[in-house]
Amino acid sequence: MTLPKVYVTRRIQDSGMKLLDGRVEYEVWEEDRPVERSELLRKAAAADGLLATLSDRIDDELLSLCPGLKVVSNYAVGYDNIDVRAATDRGVVVTNTPDVLTAATADIAFTLMLASARRLVEGNEFLRSGEWVTWQPNLLLGADVSGAVLGIYGMGKIGQAVARRARGFDMEIQYVNRSPREEAERELGARRVAFEELLARSDFISIHCPLSDETRGLFNESTLRSMKKTACLINTSRGPVVDQRALYRACSEGWIAGAGLDVFDIEPVPLDEPLLTLKNVTTIPHLGSATVRTRESMARLAVENLLAALEGRRPSAVVNPEVLDGR
């Protein structure tokens, strides 16, 4: 029996890779950088399945070259790197890895909040540079997290996980979401508010929405100017949700107190990115899901989704279920 052909665009954890053995014929891009576009197009054209990462652009051009492609399994919860409509039109199943990275991403969001509020990166650099010569009453004073008002934009699973962590710090929780989250309101005391109120009252705003036409550039000059001057913006969702040029002005000109960022417009971030020059902006290289256990779980789920689609079973996390429902 001929095995399905799979192209894996980046070697993932062995917990996932070993599941492929004997069930598909697969090839892996082994270099520690995104696969070159020409190589991706060439390999995808002969594949029955793709195991992709968020750095791979799976668009109409690529899909049009893949007559035998049945599934694109994304090693991520977000899927803005994939043209889902084009995939659906061609009957290609798209899957992702939700749930398994919820806790890790919530942890990193709260880490950025604490690090930004208490100026941890500044403190580390201050100490290592030899500038710390004596204790001072006003040295690197930060903001209180305990008892502060937290605004969550996007109250999905990750947003709710952040809210649960915030309750441990006695924070007042308000949120913006398309629909009410009654369980979070009952259990966590969270309150659904209008976007304008979220901006005006929050001491910290943590973004947990997908990237879409509606959310692209949502945090722009107008919305950033509507925040408290003492507020801090945290983004662990997708970089383009925030207008980086406006955020630079906001943090450098004092519209807001600062920001903590795990995601950016362009990744990796160019070293001449102006935000990198600001002490009140804490930056990390897209580490939201970067724990050993989480990445192993993502690898297993991504491969299980891929194999299910190739073997005629329903994957556990389907982005476009209408493809399967219509078969």
Does residue 238 have an active-site annotation? yes
Cβ–Cβ < 8 Å for 53, 82: no
Looking at residue 191, what DSSP letter applies?
Answer: E
CA 311 to chain centroid:
29
Contacts of 158 (CB under 8 A, 6+ apart): 102, 105, 106, 109, 208, 236
Catalytic residue among 10, 181, 286, 295: 286
Cis peptide before 180 (omega within 30 of 0): no
Burial degree of 261 (CB within 10 A; 0-12, 13-18, 19+): buried
Catalytic residue among 238, 295, 300, 304: 238
Contacts of 156 (CB under 8 A, 6+ apart): 177, 208, 209
Does residue 208 have an active-site annotation? no
Q: Dihedral sign, CA of 154, 157, 158, 160? A: positive
Contacts of 299 (CB under 8 A, 6+ apart): 12, 13, 14, 15, 16, 17, 75
Catalytic residue among 39, 267, 273, 296: 267
Inter-helix orientation angle 157-167/102-117, to 10°: 50
Does residue 286 have an active-site annotation? yes
For residue 58, list its beta bridge partners: 82
Rounded to 5°, angle at Cα 204 from 115 and 289: 55
Cβ–Cβ < 8 Å for 121, 145: no
**Active-site residue list:** 238, 267, 286
